[in-house]
Amino acid sequence: MLDEPRADEILVRLIASGVGWADLEAIDGGLPVPFPFVGGGEGAGIVEGVGDSVTGIAAGDTVILTPAFCGVCARCREGSPTHCLEHDALNRCGTRADGSVPFFGDGVPIHGFFQGQSSFATHALCRSTSVVKVPAEAPLEVLACLGGELCAAASIVIHAAVKRLEAIVVSGASGPGLVAVMTARALGFETIILVDPDQARRELATELGATFTVHADTDLPAVVMSVTPGGVDLSVETTGDRASLDACVASLAPGGICALLRSPGFIQPSDDALAAESRQISEMSRGCGSPHETIETLVAWHAAGKFPLEKLVVFYPFEHINDALQTLAVDAVPKPIVRFSLGLFGDLDRAGAEGAAVDEPADEPVDETTPENVDAVKV
Ligand SMILES: [Zn+2]
C-alpha cells in the first residue's frame, strides 16, 4: 500500500513510464538506492491528490515526472536544479528526510522516491518539484519517456545552442543519442553527425535529422574534419565505450565540449583524451539547466510535429516490465515504455496498488542483462 500525500507531496496515477539506464544501474547495485525499492524514473500520469502546501498543481492535472530538486540551494537558485546539491538525498535515498518510506508490502517497508517518483507502480508519491504540468491533451503514453535521460540529452544540446553552435557529433543511436540528434535538428544545427554500428539505427537517425551517419569502425575525427574543418564544438557520447569517447574528444575544435551521458564511473577516458589541449570532457548524465523548462520545450515541439518521439519507443504492458528492462539492457530498442492498463488496475484503490519492487540480490550479483529479480509484486 501507499502512503497518503504529505504537505509537499503529490499523488499521481501512472499512465505509462519510460524504462531507463538509471533503472538498470540501480537494479545492478550501481546507485545508492537501498533495497528493496520501487524503480522507475520516467513516469507520466494524472494527479489524484495534493498536499496542503502544494500550489499550481491540482487533482486531474496531466503531468510528466522528473527527478526532484530542493528549489532553495545555490544550484537551484541560479537556475540549474539539475545540479541540485540535494539531488541524491531527494532521488536516491528511498525515504523522506525523516526516514519514512512511501510503500509497504505486507507490512514490510519498501523504498520509494527513486528519481523522485518510483514510477514502476500504478501510483506514485512525488515531491512537487518532480511534477511538470503539461496540456491535458498531451499524449502521455509517448511523452512519459521525457522525464529522465532523454531530457538530459536534449538539455545538453539546448544549452549548447545558446552559444550558437552549428555542428554536433553524437556517438550511439540509443534513445538519448537519437534525442540529441532530434534536438539539434529542431534547433537548426547545420551539421549533425551520428555514429553507430547498426545500419538500421543509422537510417533511423537520418530520418530524425542526422546530416551524416558513419559506422562505429570509421575514423570519426577524419570524417568530422572533412565535413567541419577544425572540428565540432559539441560531441555527445552515449555508448559508454572508451574508443568512442576518444573519437568524440578528437573530433572537437579547441574549446569544445564532449558530454558523457552514461553515469559516473561507467567510462574512463584514455590518457590521450585527457591530454587533449583546450578540450573539455564533462560528465552530464543528469543534463543541465531546468528539467521543467526542457520538458515543456520538448512537449511543445512534439505537439508541433517537430519531435517525433513515436519513432523511438516500443510499448510493453506493465506486467512485462522484465522484458522492457531486458530490451534496454541489450540495446534492442531505443526506448522501451511500460503502460498501465486501466482495465487491469483501474478499479483498485491505493491499498491494492501494484508496483514492481526490486529485492536485494540474495547470493550473487545481479546480471543487468537478465534482471530476473524484478518481479511485479503487490506492495
Ligand atoms: Zn537544490
> How far is the C-alpha of 346 from the C-alpha of 339, rounded, in Å?
12
Residue 379 to residue 377: CA distance in whole angstroms: 6
Percent of the chain with pLDDT over 70: 89
Q: What is the whole-number distance in angstroms between the Cα of residue 69 and the centre of ligand 1?
A: 5
The mean pLDDT of 272-277, rounded to a whole number, is 76
Kindly give the distance from the C-alpha atom of residue 292 to the centroid of ligand 1, in angstroms, as a whole number. 14
* C-alpha of residue 110 to centroid of ligand 1, in Å: 25
The predicted model scores a pTM of: 0.88
The rounded Å distance from CA 64 to ligand 1 centre is: 20
**Integer Cα distance of 202 and 334 in angstroms:** 12
User: Which amino acid, 159?
Assistant: H
CA of 128 relative to ligand 1 center, distance in Å: 13
Q: Which residues of 163-175 are buried (b: 16+ CB within 10 A; e: fewer)?
A: eebbbbbbbbbbb
Say how far apart CA 132 and CA 73 lie, in whole Å.
20
Every domain range in the chain assigned CATH 3.90.180.10: 9-147+308-378
CA 185 to ligand 1 center in whole angstroms: 31
Asked if 81 contacts 287 with a C-beta cutoff of 8 angstroms, the reply is: no
Q: Is pLDDT above 50 for 195?
A: yes
Tell me how far the alpha carbon of residue 180 lies from the centroid of ligand 1, in angstroms.
Answer: 26
Buried b (16+ CB within 10 A) or exposed e, 120-143: bbbbbbbbbbbbbbbeeebbbbbb
Which residues of the chain form CATH 3.40.50.720?
Answer: 153-283
| Ligand 1: centre distance to CA 66 (Å) | 14
Q: How far is the CA of 60 from the centre of ligand 1 (A)?
A: 27
The three-point CA angle 89-109-111 to 5° equals: 30
Residue 314 has pLDDT above 70, yes or no: yes
**Mean pLDDT across the stretch 103-115?**
92
Residue 53 reports pLDDT greater than 70: yes
Burial 215-236 (b: 16+ CB within 10 A, else e): ebeeebbebbbebbeebbbbbb
Query: What distance in angstroms lies between residue 19's CA and the mean position of ligand 1's atoms?
Result: 25
Dist. CA 67 → ligand 1 center (Å): 11
The label of the residue with cell 559506422 reads 215
Q: Which region, left, alpha or beta, applies to residue 5 given φ > 0 means left and ψ of -120 to 50 means alpha?
A: beta
**What pLDDT does 268 receive?**
74
Q: What pLDDT, on a 0 to 100 scale, did the predictor assign at position 264? A: 53
Hey, what's the cell of 273? 583524451
Look at residue 368 and give its three-state secondary structure.
Answer: coil
pLDDT bin (cut points 50, 70, 90) of residue 347 is very low
Count of beta carbons in the 10 Å neighbourhood of residue 376: 16
| Helix-strand-coil split of the chain, %, nearest 5 | 35, 25, 40
pLDDT mean across residues, the chain: 89
User: How far is the centre of ligand 1, averaged over its atoms, from the C-alpha of 182 (Å)?
Assistant: 29
| Type of residue found at 60 | G
Weakest mean pLDDT among 2-6, 65-69, 154-158: 2-6
77 Cα to the center of ligand 1, angstroms: 7
Cell 530498442 belongs to which residue?
333
Pairing of strands 43-50, 62-65: antiparallel
CATH code of 9-147+308-378, in short, is 3.90.180.10
Distance CA 227, CA 239 (A): 23
Q: 70 C-alpha vs ligand 1 centroid, how far in Å?
A: 4
Q: Which three cell numbers stand for residue 282?
A: 564533462
E strands present in the chain: 9-18, 37-38, 43-50, 62-65, 103-105, 108-110, 123-127, 131-133, 167-171, 191-195, 212-214, 232-237, 252-260, 280-283, 313-317, 335-339, 354-358, 374-378
The C-alpha cell at 241 is 565505450
> What is the pLDDT at residue 166?
87
68 CA → ligand 1 middle, Å: 9
**Residue 83 Cα, ligand 1 centroid: separation in angstroms?**
7
* pLDDT above 60 for 160: yes
Whole-number Å distance, alpha carbon 375 to ligand 1 midpoint, is 33
Between the CA of 81 and the centroid of ligand 1 the distance, in Å, is: 6
Ligand 1 centroid from CA 351, angstroms: 32
**Which of 305, 353, 355, 287 is closest to 146 using CA atoms?**
287
User: What's the CA-to-centroid distance between 7 and ligand 1, angstroms?
Assistant: 18
**Cβ–Cβ < 8 Å for 267, 240:** yes
Q: How far is the CA of 109 from the centre of ligand 1 (A)?
A: 27
Superfamily name with CATH number, domain 153-283: NAD(P)-binding Rossmann-like Domain (3.40.50.720)
